[in-house]
Chain A
Amino acid sequence: MTILTLTPIAVGLLLLILPQLLPGKLALSIRKFSRNVSFGVSMALFAFATYLSFTTFGGIDWLDINMGEYELMNDKPVTLISSIGVSWIVGVDALSLPMVWLTALLIPLSMLVEWDAKEGHIFHPLILVMEGALLGVFVVLDLFVFYVFWEMTLIPMFFLILVWGGEDRKYASMKFFIYTFTASVIMLVGILIMYFHTGDVSGVSGTLTGHHFSLIEMNSEMIQSEGLRHLVWILLLIGFATKMPSVPVHTWLPDAHVQAPTAGSMLLAGVMLKMGAYGFLRVAVSLFPESTVVFTPILIILGMASLVYGALVCMGQTNLKRMVAYSSVSHMGLIFLGIATMQPLGIAGALFMMFAHGIISPLLFAVAGAFKHHYHTLEIGSMRGIAHHSPYLAAHMMLGWMGSLGLPLLAGFVAEVAIMIAFWMSFGWLVILPALTLIITAVYYLTSMQKTIFESNDRHHGILPESLHGEEPRDITWNENTSMFILGILTIAFGIFPFIFFDMMSDWSSEFVSEVLLSYLIEQGVRP
């Protein structure tokens, strides 16, 4: 896991810095190859992650990990800053493994989509650095390092938006950075409160403060006061909910998405949003199950608001990418609802939602980016019948849209159904609200699709947007096509065989509920 995290950062930084240091000729040749090297490294990491996930590597059975145990851990924590008790501990379990695989998958794909990006010798290494930071968030088990990686993801993304973004990129990148940074500082306050309540433990020796950041050694009993526990939970929630993002702290997302380059939005929607849900489960719910049970109504309200409100806002959008961005808000609401059910099935559904949304939403953004790229506009009403001109784009759009609205046999459906069933088990008839929202989802997806790729009266010609200035439009290029094709195939594959990851997710969730949550559920009178 250490290799997986540090390699991309090292290679990416090298590729960024070396040309500045070396003399002209060598620098030129490095620049020439940095795109290929970045892609090669990311592919190698993907192969490695796949090997880890799908083979019984070193005798790991992903379905047989007890709560609180991690696989592929480094044997001894490496002390990084001994004076305040920071150490390097990495490990994965069934919660993080799908996310690791997803990240390793999306990085080469998003590189591929923007294969011909201008300034490619900076663009691709930046994405590689991004990969390292994202993987770090998912595998690190030390809260200090976790926070460092958490903030580190912002930097490449900030530059991606600022340099390669749309017309309004400066505003969007600043907003993105400051907004999410503020939220994570609030989260940091929570982490620090936890830190000051830890005791000295063996393995992390010689600290000046007598505290440590190790996540595995923490538990909720370390904070005596119930009120303080709730406070920490709320602080963490603010940090994670902003990242997810949940209504009402979601407004950075549409701006960032609309202005970001295609690869940026793909990673933003595909992985960065999942950091919020992952962190919430890993830190807030795992360490403070009691507060989670007490504050379930907050989760339901946030989830419902994101789901319903996000879907309604989607209906009111005329910009394709904005609409897709808000649909992410809507789907992230389902994750909160899934967690709030406190059922193994619901949490497994939420986990699968994280994964499924992670392969579907990059497809959506790749499609939206292709519209921007080849038609120079994202206004839904400005074109009709694009399917005549860009059949591949239209096909990918249809598959992605259908996947996102939850068509059976596609990945999104599995997650939605699991969450709905669990929601019914926990809250009964309240399930009507999320279920009805799925209709709104269908409405905005179908109308946007109908208005752009279908509905032209002429059999051979669509209505082209004015932004083309009378040029003949092209279909998507080979690299976009390949990338979207892979995502589409995976959408179908995980719709038909969800158990590839769903098994380990449900295994993790049932253990999570029985080991961590159940005693508090009984204590609070939620379950008999």
Chain B
Amino acid sequence: MEGPTPVSALIHAATMVNAGLYLVARLMPFVDVHHHGVSGLEDFGLIVAWIGGITAFMAASIAFVQNDIKKVLAYSTMSQLAYIFTGLGSALYFLNIDEYYAGYFVLGASLFHLFNHAMAKGMLFMASGSVIHEVHHAHDHLHHGSDHGHHDFDPQDMRNMGGLASKLPVTATAMMFGSMSIIGIPLIGGFWSKEGIIAKTWSAYFHGETLMLGPALLILATAGMTGFYMSRMWFMTFAGEPKSEVVDHVHETTPWIKEPLIILTIITALGGFVLAVLGVVDFLSNKEANLSLHGKSLLDQIIYELEHAFLPEDQKLRIVGWITIFLSFIVGPIMASRVHGGQLKEGEKANLFVGWLVNLSGKFGKQDVSWLAESQLSEALDKRLYFDDLYEGVLARTLIPFADFTAWFDRNIIDGIIKQIESKSVLGSFEIRKFTTGSAGDYILMATIGALCIFVLLMGVSF
């Protein structure tokens, strides 16, 4: 995430990171027993689902404590892609036990989530770039000509922001819709796909696979956590009182930053719904299907999709669906607003789209969580659960010393042996040279000994 923001938007959110998911999705024909795939690979699906569930939960919890706006988005990406991974895991499972309708459904939902997430996250990264750019700009403007305080200011740190909603109206709106899509606020973007993944993962559990309970619970919890960290990011950046003097000088000045944000905002906000109505889930998983209303009227299709999302026939799934909505829509955002939300500074007014949210965020009171922020858990999360340290430590303690040892071994043992052979042969020739004394007496003695030896040998042979 150290890359330039447009690069992050393109490869870290929308394209490159999806390659792995794409490969897993490509594996579907192998396990699809209904179409002559290999049977007996349910465990494969379970492993994929578990990896997805754990990653989703872990990344979401790490995103709780990040203060760098792009890092929050980065961990959110990890978490959301893990959702898709879980979905693909359940798809593998369903296809392998010949429940191909459910399998195709969750496969389509996963790929749909991939699309929704790419749109929303690409836009969020660009919006975060806008925020960073303007804050940096304002800081340069503010400290023009003076040197002090210049170097320890981090324009990506959300602790330097706050109350930007009135300063950056377009960016704030864009980020709000993007966050909503990621959280899965009903009717907006990612809701349509995320709902499907969670529901089908649970239905794999209800189907009798008890091991699916883990991933199912993990991604259900993650839904609430997503609601928290995305709202936290938004509230920390755009709501509340400004946390540094720089904020007063921020303006949305740069041209050509707004336009892509507006386009992507529209797609993010409406794309999910429109595509869901057009039957995108079928389209993505079934090669015969296409994007259309399937012979029904538009209204019928909308009602069908809404029913499907909010009132599924299965009682259990209905409960799961509403718990998801409750956690991600109500619990997460409200908790975030209690910690970080608040009214803008007096005299500042946010625009129509985001003003209501800023006002709302101040209504739930204030909660002090500094005790939690100083806890060990928070530090561990801040250090990314020590994964980097683990890898670096393992490498620094195993491979690198081993390589150094090998280099030493090569220089001193293998080459050393060669050098020994060389120096010993030099020494040997030195010793042998000593026989060449130049004294006639020595030579006669040696010749006599030699003749004697030959004589003895001949005796031995002849007897």
> Which A residues lie at the B interface, using CB under 8 A?
175, 178-179, 247-248, 250-251, 309, 312-317, 440, 443
- Contact size range, B: 10 to 19
- Chain B hits for A251, CB < 8 A: 410, 414-415, 418
Select B407's contact among A248, A313, A443, beta carbons within 8 Å.
A313
Q: Distance in Å from the Cβ of B395 to the closest Cβ of chain A?
A: 9
- Chain B hits for A179, CB < 8 A: 418
Q: In chain B, what residue has the closest Cβ to A178? A: B422
Select A316's contact among B406, B414, B415, B418, beta carbons within 8 Å.
B406
Scoring A178, A248, A316 by chain B CB atoms within 10 A of each residue's CB, the highest score goes to: A316
Q: In chain A, what residue has the closest Cβ to B403? A: A315
In residues 380-404 of chain B, which contact A (Cβ within 8 Å)?
Answer: 399-400, 402-404
Given contacts A313-B407, A315-B399, 4 further A-B contacts (CB under 8 A): A251-B418, A309-B406, A312-B407, A316-B405
CA distance A237 to B457 in the complex (A): 38
Give the number of residue pairs across the A-B interface with Cβ within 8 Å: 37
- Chain A hits for B418, CB < 8 A: 179, 251
- Chain A hits for B322, CB < 8 A: none
Interchain CB contact under 8 A, A315 and B400: yes
Would you give 24 A-B contacts (Cβ < 8 Å), ordered by A?
A175-B422, A178-B422, A179-B418, A247-B414, A251-B410, A251-B415, A251-B418, A312-B403, A312-B406, A312-B407, A313-B407, A313-B410, A314-B403, A315-B400, A315-B403, A315-B404, A316-B403, A316-B405, A316-B406, A316-B408, A317-B407, A440-B399, A440-B403, A443-B399
CA distance A125 to B251 in the complex (A): 71
Q: Distance in Å from the Cβ of A442 to the closest Cβ of chain B?
A: 13
CA distance A295 to B404 in the complex (A): 32
- Chain B hits for A315, CB < 8 A: 399-400, 403-404, 406-407
CA distance A521 to B399 in the complex (A): 38
Select B406's contact among A250, A313, A443, beta carbons within 8 Å.
A313
Q: In chain B, what residue has the closest Cβ to A251? A: B415
Q: Distance in Å from the Cβ of A242 to the closest Cβ of chain B?
A: 11
- Chain A hits for B400, CB < 8 A: 315
Select B402's contact among A247, A312, A443, beta carbons within 8 Å.
A312
- Chain B hits for A314, CB < 8 A: 403
- Chain B hits for A175, CB < 8 A: 422
Q: In chain A, what residue has the closest Cβ to B413? A: A248
- Chain B hits for A247, CB < 8 A: 414
- Chain A hits for B403, CB < 8 A: 312-316, 440
CA distance A175 to B421 in the complex (A): 12
- Chain A hits for B422, CB < 8 A: 175, 178
CA distance A314 to B408 in the complex (A): 11
- Chain B hits for A312, CB < 8 A: 402-403, 406-407
Q: 6 shortest A-B CB distances, which residue pairs? A: A316-B407, A315-B403, A251-B415, A312-B406, A316-B403, A316-B404
- Chain A hits for B405, CB < 8 A: 316
- Chain B hits for A316, CB < 8 A: 403-408
- Chain B hits for A250, CB < 8 A: 414
CA distance A25 to B400 in the complex (A): 60
Q: In chain B, what residue has the closest Cβ to A255? A: B415
- Chain A hits for B407, CB < 8 A: 312-313, 315-317
